[in-house]
């Protein structure tokens, strides 16, 4: 118990205790998850708004644990970041996704850009540009087929360092996109300095785009600003034809969401993409 002000003590509630226990259980289980083969990567297709072609795939980590069940990345990624395990996990995702992109390309599928989520912890690690270069070299994939998604807050944590890392990655030929755009605190002037390629409009704005005039205004503003700065835009969380139609009319370049497809295991993705493109 902890001394709490003038009128006594506050105790951990049963709920707080359960939450802490679950967190510790997750960190413990995460340590072995890779070695035990519990991790897989799923791929969600990204579509060109103009003609509906598949132009990219986002790699999304999946964890199936024998007793915890399927644990959501929204829960285990923060635990992996706090414990430092994200570095090993993130490297594994990068290597797996880059290999997959290479296999698909070699297998004659229509070329697509593989988008991989980067944790801010990975992004801040001084070895990141060398690691990316090494993985691409080892696999033999050209850098223009890799795109790195970094959240707006990850980029804004230390803008001068972020700019230096982005410059380096760009020199290596790798594209960067800003994930969850609109939810962070980007100073718009930094957008010019960040050498990013694409803004990913957060799904929280897309959700009510057909009914909420404010969300509509925000999305229109993001798309027009991106055009002015020469940046590509992709909308995430596109679930309905009405959302898709609005985004297309406004000139959003790419779409991703359940309206088109959920994230798919590699074999399902391949079947889906080949059927659509006739390859
Ligand atoms: P995110 O990067 O913003 O990824 C988008 C999330 O939205 C994914 O959830 C995806 O499955 C989900 N989604 C896609 N389309 C729709 C839709 O139409 N409607 C709705 N409601 N949701 C949709 P997921 O796979 O559970 O991942 C959650 C978050 O976990 C990701 O958010 C990302 O921040 C993180 N994450 C996942 N995999 C990785 C990874 O390999 N590395 C890192 N650092 N983070 C990851
Ligand atoms: Ca993402
Ligand atoms: Ca996102
Ligand atoms: Ca998100």
Per-residue pLDDT tens over the stretch 147-161: 999 998 888 888 889
Q: Is the shortest distance between the CB of 152 and ligand 1 below 6 Å?
A: no
Q: Along the 279 residues of the chain, how does pLDDT read in single tens digits?
A: 445 555 555 666 888 888 888 889 999 999 999 999 999 999 999 999 999 999 999 999 999 999 999 999 999 999 999 999 999 999 999 999 999 999 999 999 999 999 999 999 999 999 999 999 999 999 999 999 999 999 988 888 888 899 999 999 999 999 999 999 988 777 777 888 888 999 999 999 999 998 999 999 999 999 999 999 999 999 999 999 999 999 999 999 999 999 999 999 999 999 999 999 888
SS3 assignment, position 231: coil
Q: Is 133 left (phi over 0), alpha (psi -120 to 50) or beta?
A: alpha
Q: How far is the CA of 101 from the centre of ligand 1 (A)?
A: 19
Long-range contacts of 23-32 (CB under 8 A, 24+ apart): 23/79, 25/68, 26/68, 26/71, 26/75, 26/76, 26/79, 27/79, 27/82, 27/83, 27/85, 29/65, 29/68, 30/63, 30/76, 30/79, 30/80, 30/83, 30/85, 30/89, 31/85
Provide the pLDDT for residue 14.
83
Provide the pLDDT for residue 134.
98
The closest-lying atom of ligand 1 relative to the alpha carbon of residue 200 is 3
Residue found under tokens 């297309």: 248
Work out the angle between the directed axes of helices 213-229 and 241-250 (0-180°, nearest 10). Answer: 40
274 burial class (0-12, 13-18, 19+ CB within 10 angstroms)? middle
Provide the pLDDT for residue 19.
84
Pocket test for ligand 1, best of 26, 30, 39, 60 (most atoms within 8 A of CB): 60
Q: Which residue's alpha carbon is nearest to atom 17 within ligand 1?
A: 237
Q: Which residue's alpha carbon is nearest to atom 20 within ligand 1?
A: 237
**CA distances in angstroms from 85 to 115, 165, 256, listed in the order given:** 21, 22, 29
Quick one: the chain helix, strand, coil %, rounded to 5?
50, 20, 30
ipTM above 0.85, yes or no: yes
Provide the pLDDT for residue 122.
96
Rounded to two decimals, what is the model's pTM?
0.94
- Between CA 261 and CA 18, with CA 154 as vertex, the angle to 5 degrees is 75
């Amino acid at each position: 118990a902890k001394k709490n002000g003038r009128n006594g003590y506050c105790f951990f509630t049963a709920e707080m205790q359960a939450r802490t226990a679950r967190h510790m259980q997750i960190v413990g289980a995460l340590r072995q998850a890779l070695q035990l083969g519990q991790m897989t990567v799923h791929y969600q297709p990204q579509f060109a708004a103009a003609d509906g072609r598949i132009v990219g795939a986002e790699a999304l980590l999946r964890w199936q644990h024998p007793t915890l069940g399927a644990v959501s990345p929204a829960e285990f990624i923060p635990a992996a970041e706090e414990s430092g395990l994200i570095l090993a996990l993130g490297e594994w995702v990068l290597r797996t996704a880059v290999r997959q992109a290479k296999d698909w390309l070699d297998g004659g599928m229509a070329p697509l850009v593989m988008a991989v989520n980067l944790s801010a912890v990975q992004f801040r690690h001084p070895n990141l540009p060398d690691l990316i270069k090494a993985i691409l070299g080892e696999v033999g994939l050209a850098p223009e087929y890799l795109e790195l998604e970094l959240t707006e807050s990850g980029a804004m944590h230390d803008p001068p360092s972020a700019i230096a890392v982005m410059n380096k990655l760009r020199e290596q030929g790798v594209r960067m996109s800003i994930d969850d755009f609109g939810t962070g605190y980007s100073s718009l002037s930094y957008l010019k300095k960040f050498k990013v390629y694409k803004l990913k409009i957060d799904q929280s704005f897309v959700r009510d785009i057909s009914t909420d005039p404010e969300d509509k205004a925000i999305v229109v503003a993001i798309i027009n600003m991106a055009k002015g700065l020469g940046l590509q835009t992709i909308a995430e969380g596109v679930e309905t034809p009405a959302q898709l139609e609005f985004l297309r009319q406004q000139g959003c370049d790419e779409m991703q969401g359940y309206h088109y497809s959920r994230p798919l295991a590699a074999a399902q993705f391949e079947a889906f993409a080949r059927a659509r493109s006739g390859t």
